[in-house]
Structures are given as structure tokens and as C-alpha cells.
Chain A
């Protein structure tokens, strides 16, 4: 029975996240508690934690793009991305994000995971483009709608990469499946596994695209996502849109 006590760490994580305590503290306390409960000494637990952190430094590499993204923002990249979308008559949030979803799934299926992502493409390009498209459909956005559109931009990147990458044979998760099954005597070629990722990839595209089109419909009916917006008359909406062409796209980095 006592071996169930190692689950205390999970309990700490669940409670900590539910109470919105600082995740850095929650995760650290959960790790130390789990290690100590499993019978390891404090030095051993801290060493284990430190070694695992060091082994996962590859996660930090993506931040190398920040100086470039910041520099491009300095010269108006987000404003430019928004201007391009405003010039496209057919562009809507849903259609734009469906195209991005397809591109992300397609490139991920070729193993090209790191060419796009939240710092690389979503913040500088996809989110400002989606906001500009939303303003065309909806008029000026209230903060809740703006956050909703940005959330969908990030979500679309995740869905695209998750349900594209397993079609590529040399991706980590395919290798992990292969190795796990091999220990039980089932030897499978990566190709045999990757092919079974295709039905789910298609389903992911259809389900998420349908939701993106629903988002379009909700934006075009002008229903606010928050409670605060009273919809301005359409004439004043266009006028305001012209006066401040960068509303929304520029607001993302407004320093308070």
C-alpha cells in the first residue's frame, strides 16, 4: 500500500495548479517531495533533479531566435503582417489559420518541426495576421476577443505540429514506440508505425478546421466574447479602423 505514497507529487501538482500557485515552486516542491518519499536522500534527489534539468537543455535552444524576432518587431514586422492581411479581401481568421494548419502539418510530416513555432512564427506573424483578419470581420476588438483570436493562433500551431510530426519516420515519438514494442519482441519498421498516424492527422485537420470556421461565424455575427463590449455602429467601426490601422497587432507588445 505504502508505494502509493509516491503519488503525493501528482497531488501537489494538481492542487498547486488548481490554486494557481506559482508553477516554478509547485513543480520544485513536487519533485523534492516525490524523491524524498521514494526513499532517496536530499543530496541524491537534488542531484537527480539537476541532472535531468541539464539533460533537457535542448528545450532552451529555441530562445536563440528572440533577438531576431525582437529586432524585426522594432522595425514593424507585426504591423506589416497585419497590413498584408488587411489588403486581402478573402482573408478571415478561420481561413488564414486553416492554411497555417495545413502548412504546419505538412512540414511537420516532413520532419521539419523547428522551422515554425510560438516564438518563431506565431508571435511575429500568425497572431498579428489573425488579429488583422478578425478586425476586418468584426471591427475593433475588445480585449477578450483579441485574446481569444491569439489563443486560437497558438492552438493551431500546436494541433498542426502534434498531428503532423508522427507521419515522419525519424521523429522521437515513433522511435520511442518502436523501441518500447521491440522490448516485447515486436519488431516494426518506423514506416509501419508512421502510416497509422495518417488517419488521426486527417481527423485533426477536419475537427480543428471546423472549429476555426465556427470562430469565423462567431466573429462575423459580432457577438462579443467578453461582457464589456458594446458593439459600435459599423460606420464608426470602419472609421476607427482607418485612423489606427495597427490596433490589435501592435497592442501585443505595448509596454505598460
Chain B
């Protein structure tokens, strides 16, 4: 069976190549910082499940130290110039979009075929992970097609990949680190304390104010934790189930579904949701790392208000 470990190993080999190319890059003054950082990522992806939890913990501290003390440099691997790119773009025309569509098309068609034909019942791929496997397959096919079509230099995909990953830098690993922080918060009982606090501010007898605290609490706790998944069980246990559903007889489906979406409004407004907010800022090379959040606040706040009203009107019909 094709498991997620196959995908981890493939990504790990890519990071290992980034590490080796970094170490050989004499133009980058901090090349060994980059090599160590991407090397640790490679180790985690390839061998993480065979390392002890403590060894994985030391690995994370290594990544945090290298990234945190700015030991990574921005590399400039060999690529084409702006003028060459414009010339290629004119020469190749819209055919250039076809290889770009290979990854999404493979992921899309692969997922659909796997789920809606008997192929999926063979158990070839780890359950619920088929899209990730097809994503990796699509990436491999696309690289193969580009090699065959444009006769790229052998190292070009890895050098170009390194150019992009170095533009993102340590922000590429931050989302995983934040997920780990969430797990430590949960184990330390942070959720229980927040839940008690939220309950303490609810005035008795007002359905609307309770809905308001529930919705705002979902958004605020999501902003703290960086994702609504960590916030939902806490707010459901503190307010959603005992007060909105049991005491005031709200519709559990509405309270649950729209409560979660109120949390998603919080995700739009927090740097803790690094993969959605900080990573694109790095990837698009914005000067302000909070630029994406600033573009989202104007959608998130009115939408949060709409969600609170929807819970109030739909759950208590």
C-alpha cells in the first residue's frame, strides 16, 4: 500500500537535495545554516517516525534555533533573467500553462477516479490521503514533461525549488511548529482554563448575548491557537453544548457548523495561522509580513457578524 510515508520520503529527498546544493553554494555567506536547516527537515520527513519523541524534539529545537537566530541566508541559485523569461514566454506561448495544470489535474482526476471507481476499493493508497499522493505524482509527472519538452539542465528543478524555498526561509516550517505548540497547549490544559473564562462572562438569561460570546470566543480562541480545530472542542464544551443546545434548545447542527465557521473568521486575522497568512506573505515577497492579514480583516469582521446573526436566527427558529 502507498502510505503517506512515501510522500514524506519524496519530500524529504527534495529537502536533502536542497541541503546539499546549499552547502555547495559558495555565493551564500550562510550556506551551512541553510544546509543544516533543510537537512534537519529532510531527516524529519525521511526518518521522523523511526526517531524517538525526544530525538524529534531535539530536531525541532535545532530548526527553531537555526531559524530563530537568523542563521539562514537568501540564496541566488542559477536561473534565467527577466529578459530571458519574457523571451521564453513569447516563444512558448500559452502552451506554457499546460505543464502548470498537470499538478492540479492529476490531483483532481486521480482523487475523483480513486473515489468513484472500483479502483479505490483495492486499498492501494492509505485511506483519506489519496489527494496528497496524487499531488506528489502530479509533481513528478510535471517535472518529467518539462525535462522532455524544454531539455532543462539536470539540476534545474532542484535549483529553482531551492530558490523558492530560500525565499520563504524558516517560515516554511513555522506552520508545523505552531501545530506542535497547539498540542502542548492542549496537554497543559489551556483550553479548559479559556473555556471557564468564557463561561464566566456570559450574562444569564440572554440567548443573544450567549450566542455573541460563543461566536466571538470561537474567533478569539482561534486567533490564539492559530486554527479553529483547537478552539471548537473547547468552546463547544464550555458554551455551545451546555448552554446553547441543552439549556436554550438550539439546533445542534447549526450551533456546530456555523460556530466552526465563526472560528474560521478568526483564522483570517491571526499571524498564528502561519500557513495561510505568513507563508503567502513570504512566498509573494511582501514587505509587510502581516500584509495578507490586513487584506483579510475587512472580510473577516463583517463575516463574523453575519455568522453570529446566522446562529441566532437559524438555531433558535
**A interface list, Cβ under 8 A from B:** 3-4, 6-7, 9-10, 13-14, 17, 22-25, 27-28, 30-31, 34-35, 37-38, 40, 43, 45-81, 83-84, 107, 111-116, 118-125, 127, 143, 147-148, 150-155, 157-159, 162-163, 166, 170, 172-174, 176-178, 180-181, 184, 186, 188, 192-197, 199-200, 203-204, 207-208, 211, 245-246, 250, 252-256
B174–A43 CB distance below 8 A: no
The 10 closest A-B pairs by CB, nearest first: A70-B160, A50-B57, A76-B89, A50-B56, A52-B183, A46-B57, A25-B68, A38-B188, A67-B161, A67-B157
Min Cβ gap B237→A in Å is 8
A188 touches B256 (CB 8 A): yes
Partner of B157, one of A70, A148, A178, A192: A70
Stretch at the interface among B117-125, B204-212, B261-269: B261-269
Which chain B residues lie closer than 8 Å to A10 at the CB level? 185, 190, 224
Please state if B160 and A176 are interface contacts (CB–CB under 8 Å). no
Which of B90, B164, B264, B284 contacts A154 (CB under 8 A)?
B284
What residue in chain A is nearest B131 (Cβ atoms)? A114
- Asked if B274 and A207 sit within 8 Å, CB to CB, the answer is no
A55 partner residues in chain B, CB cutoff 8 A:
183
**Would you call the interface of chain A mostly helix, strand, loop, or mixed?**
helix
Output the nearest chain B residue to A107 by Cβ-Cβ distance. B108
Q: Are B89 and A113 in contact (CB under 8 A)?
A: no
Taking a contact as CB atoms under 8 Å apart, the answer to whether B268 and A37 are in contact is no
Selected contact of B64 from candidates A24, A120, A254, CB within 8 Å: A24
Task: Decide if A24 touches B170 in the complex (CB within 8 Å).
Answer: yes
When the two chains form their complex, are residues A246 and B188 in contact, meaning their CB atoms are under 8 A apart? Answer: no
* Given A57-B8, A163-B261, A163-B264, A80 contacting B139 (CB threshold 8 A): no
Query: Are B176 and A207 interface neighbours, CB within 8 A?
Result: no
Binding site for A on B (CB under 8 A): 4, 7-8, 10-11, 14-15, 41, 44-45, 48-49, 51-61, 63-64, 67-70, 74, 76, 79-80, 82, 84-90, 92-94, 96-97, 99-100, 102-104, 107-108, 111, 128, 131-132, 135-136, 139, 142-143, 146, 150, 152, 156-165, 167, 170-185, 187-190, 193-194, 224, 228-229, 232-233, 236-237, 241, 245, 252-254, 256-261, 264, 267-268, 271-272, 274-281, 283-288, 291-292, 294-296, 298-299, 302-303, 306-307, 310, 314
**Cα separation A58 to B94 with both chains bound (whole Å):** 33
Q: Contact: B136 with A60, CB < 8 Å?
A: no
A-B Cβ contacts below 8 A, count:
440
Q: Are A46 and B89 interface neighbours, CB within 8 A?
A: no
Q: Let me know if A74 and B190 touch, CB within 8 A.
A: no
The answer to whether A173 and B57 have CB atoms under 8 Å apart is no
CB–CB B268/A158 < 8 A: yes
> Are A114 and B254 in contact (CB-based, < 8 A)?
no
CB distance from A105 to the nearest CB of B (A): 13
Known contacts A155-B296, A162-B267, A50 near B54 by CB under 8 Å: yes
Whether the Cβ atoms of A200 and B175 lie closer than 8 Å is no
Contact of A200 among B7, B84, B228, B261 (CB under 8 A): B261
